């Protein structure tokens, strides 16, 4: 086997990762923008905290339900079409949200947003499995997943300012427009490796392990129903059910938590919220780099490295409940930042685990199953937190439940996710 020097490889695969990064950014901006508008929508249309919890959750109902067919469709129709259609559609729905004027209209629009966004992360995982060799895959996934928090982090003060000066309808239009811009770049610049003329032959050989063949659909694809014969498939589904809950509890209710608990303005909240979101972004990136270090330098199997980091990150995230018991906004922000940092380590490595636990041909389907579990669980977070706030006038119980769920997740990943899905090399 001829060794390819790094200087001759090229870097087009990182252009692809950059596209995925911007896609993740606008995905989460459009997913959480309504969290900042929530107090004002409640006031304008007589919506209570419980009803708002339903609105905040609704995007995740349709998103979760669509994960199963979308994972299959991504494998069948390829990432370029599915992701391109997805970005275009969710940007349009976000713009339409500016027309919402009742509980029912906001609910319906958020359900549509969930359908539109549903192909995004299965398509991203599929794209990474084709464009990156195993030793770089964690770094690539960690890089684009930082967009999950980098997007809301940079948009948070902008969203706060737009609502403060122009109102939330204008905010919905502008954040939806961001997605439209990313969609244009995706359609122009993304192609599968076998169709990409701008990547060098050396880079394509490097991606495919110097075999001279670029990854393509192979005969070792597992039938969708047969995925559930593997215990790890069930573990990924249930483990992610409990893990993602905490992130969506914070992403959907953190602005209201800061406003209600510490009597901050929307303008101040927009700036303060950047700190925890930055913690999440750094956690995703650090988790990917740490996993790659364990694999490359310490010679750990990718499966072992990713799983270990998920367990440690999830266990440490139980600290989140401390944020609800301190009278200091500064201390609360520090705890929230640390919690999203450790969540980022765990959450980012779940997608890296999918890329190492099964073959490229099954990444979309397995990722869809895992994502389905995560978003069923996380869809409960805004509702449970909202109704607890309505009846107890406090966020304390909501934070306790989030800490309990993430502890359960660590246990499931530790004791249930113990085998690869299909015949996968573990080195």
Domain-wise residue ranges, the chain: 9-203+220-415
Q: Is 341 exposed, middle or buried (0-12, 13-18, 19+ CB in 10 A)?
A: buried
pLDDT score at 212? 41
Residues whose CB is less than 8 angstroms from the CB of residue 17 and which lie 6 or more positions away in sequence, other chains included? 128, 131, 132, 140, 143, 144
Is residue 131 scored above 80 in pLDDT?
Answer: yes
pLDDT score at 423? 66
- pTM exceeds 0.85: no
Is residue 134 scored above 80 in pLDDT?
Answer: no
Q: In the predicted model, what is the mean pLDDT of residues 105-124?
A: 91
Q: Give the whole-number percent of the chain exceeding pLDDT 90.
A: 56
pLDDT score at 424? 59
pLDDT score at 7? 53
CA separation, residue 377 to residues 233, 341, 382, 405 (Å): 16, 20, 10, 9
CATH number assigned to the domain covering 9-203+220-415: 1.20.1250.20
Tokens found for residue 69 = 């067919």
Q: Is 8 exposed, middle or buried (0-12, 13-18, 19+ CB in 10 A)?
A: exposed
Q: Count other C-beta atoms under 10 Å from residue 304's C-beta.
A: 15
pLDDT digits (tens, 9 = 90+) for 240-297: 999 999 998 999 999 999 999 999 999 999 999 999 999 998 998 888 888 888 988 8
pLDDT digits (tens, 9 = 90+) for 32-86: 899 999 999 999 999 999 999 999 999 988 887 887 788 778 777 778 888 999 9
pLDDT score at 66? 85
Is residue 381 scored above 50 in pLDDT?
Answer: yes
């Amino acid at each position: 086997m001829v060794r390819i020097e790094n200087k001759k490889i090229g870097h087009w695969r990182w252009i692809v990762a950059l596209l995925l990064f911007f896609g993740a950014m606008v995905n989460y901006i459009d997913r959480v923008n309504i969290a900042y508008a929530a107090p004002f929508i409640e006031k304008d249309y007589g919506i209570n905290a419980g009803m708002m919890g339903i609105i905040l959750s609704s995007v995740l109902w349709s998103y979760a339900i669509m994960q199963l067919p979308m994972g299959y469709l991504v494998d069948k129709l390829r990432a370029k079409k599915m992701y391109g259609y997805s970005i275009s559609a969710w940007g349009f729905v976000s713009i339409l949200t500016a027309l919402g004027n009742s509980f029912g209209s906001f609910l319906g629009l958020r359900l549509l947003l969930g359908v539109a966004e549903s192909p995004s992360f299965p398509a991203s995982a599929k794209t990474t499995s084709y464009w990156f060799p195993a030793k770089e895959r964690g770094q690539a996934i960690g890089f684009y997943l930082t967009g999950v928090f980098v997007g809301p982090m940079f948009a948070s003060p902008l969203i706060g300012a737009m609502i403060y000066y122009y109102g939330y309808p204008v905010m919905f239009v502008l954040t939806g427009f961001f997605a439209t811009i990313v969609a244009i770049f995706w359609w122009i610049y993304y192609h599968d490796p076998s169709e990409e003329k701008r990547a060098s032959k050396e880079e394509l050989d490097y991606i495919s392990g110097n075999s001279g063949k670029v990854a393509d659909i192979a005969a070792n694809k597992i039938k969708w129903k047969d995925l559930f014969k593997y215990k790890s498939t069930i573990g990924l589904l249930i483990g992610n059910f409990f893990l993602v809950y905490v992130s969506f509890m914070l992403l959907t209710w953190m602005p209201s938590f800061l406003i209600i608990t510490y009597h901050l303005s929307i303008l101040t909240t927009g700036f303060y919220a950047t700190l925890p979101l930055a913690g999440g972004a750094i956690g995703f990136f650090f988790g990917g780099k740490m996993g790659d270090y364990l694999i490359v330098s310490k010679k750990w199997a990718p499966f072992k490295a990713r799983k270990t980091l998920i367990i440690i990150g999830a266990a440490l995230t139980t600290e989140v409940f401390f944020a609800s018991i301190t009278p200091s906004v500064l201390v609360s922000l520090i705890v929230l930042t640390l919690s999203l940092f450790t969540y980022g380590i765990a959450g980012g490595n779940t997608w890296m685990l999918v890329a190492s636990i099964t073959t490229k041909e099954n990444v979309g389907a397995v990722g869809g199953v895992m994502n389905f579990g995560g978003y069923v669980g996380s869809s409960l977070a805004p509702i449970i937190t909202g109704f607890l706030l309505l009846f107890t006038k406090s966020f304390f119980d909501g934070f306790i439940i989030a800490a309990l769920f993430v502890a359960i997740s660590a246990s499931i990943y530790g004791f249930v996710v113990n085998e690869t899905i299909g015949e996968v090399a573990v080195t």
